[in-house]
Structures are given as C-alpha cells and as structure tokens.
Amino acid sequence: MLNWKVLTANIYIVIIICVSLVYIVQCQNPCVDKSSCKCSFKDGSVVDLSSLGNTDSTARFKDVLSPDGNLYSFNPCYGFNEESECIDASICVTTSDRGKHVLYAQPNDGSFQNDTVNKKLVLHYLNRDVGIPAIVDLICDEKAQVPIFRTNGIQLTGLSMSITSKCACINSCKMTGSVIGISAGTVLCIIFFSLLLAYLIGGMVFMRFCKNARGLEIVPNVTLWKSIPGLIKDGVMFSVCRPFLSSNYQKI
C-alpha cells in the first residue's frame, strides 16, 4: 500500500534539492565577455550596452560633475574625442581647475566583471598609463528608458561611476526573433521535461484507472525505473574495474 505521507515528504525533499541546485547554478553562472559592450550567460541571455553609447565621436555623458570637483565624460562601447588630450576615449577627466584633460580609459580597456560579493555586474576599465581602475556599476531598471549616469569621483578602489538603465538588465536591449533570451538548449530542456511530466502523469492515470494498479505499480514501467540504479552501478563498476580485468576473454 502506498504511504502518502512518505511520498509527500519525498516530494518536498526533491523540490528543495531542485531549488537548491537552481540557486547554485545561478550563483555560478557568470556573464562572460563578448566585447567591452556585451557579455553573455551560459543560457544564451546577454547584457548589451551598445545602444547606450554615441557613435559620432561625442560623449553620451559629458562633463558630469563629481564630489571631487572634476568633470567626467563617459561614452560606453565607442570612442569619443574631447579636446586634443582625449582622442578615442571612453572616459575623459577634466581637472577641477578646468585646465587639463586626462585620457582615463579607451574602449578596449573595458571588460565585464561579476561582483559576487555585492551580487552585481560591473564594467571595469583599466588603462596601464593611468594605473587606477574605473568601475562602472550596472544598475538594472526596466523603467529607465533614458539612462542615468552618476560618478563619485576617485575613491580608494578607483574611479567610481554607475549607469542606471534598462540595458543593464538581462536581454532588455536584445531581441532574437519572437523569443527573448531563450536559447535552443533551454527550449530543448523545456520540451524534454514537459514530455517527461506528461508521460508520468498520463501513465499513472492509465495504470490506475485502466489497469486498476495500486501503490508503486501505478508508476508506468516501474520495473524499468527500479532497475536504473542497478544498471548505473554496474556501469560505474565496469568502468572503474575494467583496467584491472584480464584481457583474455573466452572465445565463442
């Protein structure tokens, strides 16, 4: 007789394990550089900043005043020109006395980094001539149609800046056909698990009402499912022990 209390407890355990595995996978799913404009996750979803930058050699965010008194100009992805000192720049700094412009970083100096401590994605610039990094916090806000740029100037960890935009959100500035951010692998997984669930539910209904099965016998092909652990064990043991087995087999 099927013990429904034990079955319910086992179902809860399976759900907890699945949720934990999903959480672990998400925590270990970094966004990998494709360029200084775009990074992608394992499931094919992306963060794409290419629409945030001007392509006419001007800065999208120009001469933004920071608490340190300096003015900062920033253009994601593409280079801009400002005075003779800042050519093909991503970040240009005008000193507080307004007497000097400093090329702080260029587009190729940028890369995406995953801040696992604060659980956020940042754009990291490092120009060897400057030596002090610039860190741009990417703040996701689906309602921010117009990007908001802020800077706190140079801190102990480097130049601190942030962009609040919908383009800092996953797939918000990328569309592939009619499906947004779903890779072929994800679609196949959805189809597989949907078919598996339909097979189990349909099979259990058939076994219960058509075959009048009881207990574990209502599981379709229950004998096959019971034999799987043993088959896996035999396969593992064979793979591990095969190098130690004699190569002299009896000829048939």
Spans of all domains in the chain: 1-30, 33-168, 183-237
Nearest to 52 by CA among 127, 104, 110: 110
Res 247: pLDDT:
54
pLDDT at residue number 178: 34
Q: Which residue has the tokens 């088959």?
A: 231
- Of 94, 86, 82, 78, the C-alpha closest to 37 is 78
**What is the C-alpha separation between 44 and 36, in angstroms, rounded?**
17
Q: What is the pLDDT of residue 29?
A: 64
Report d(CA 134, CA 93) in Å as an integer.
12
| Distance in angstroms (rounded) separating the CA atoms of residues 44 and 62 | 33
Q: Which superfamily, per CATH, for 33-168? A: Mannose-6-phosphate receptor binding domain (2.70.130.10)
Query: What is the rounded distance in angstroms from the CA atom of residue 60 to the CA atom of residue 80?
Result: 9
Q: Which pLDDT score is estimated for 173?
A: 84
Report the first-to-last Cα separation within the chain, whole angstroms.
47
What does the pLDDT profile of the chain (252 residues) look like in tens digits?
444 444 444 444 445 445 444 444 444 568 887 778 899 888 888 999 999 999 999 999 999 999 999 999 999 999 999 999 999 999 999 999 988 999 999 999 999 988 877 788 999 999 888 889 999 999 999 998 999 999 999 888 899 999 999 999 999 886 433 333 455 566 777 887 888 788 778 878 887 788 788 777 788 887 877 787 877 877 777 777 766 555 554 554
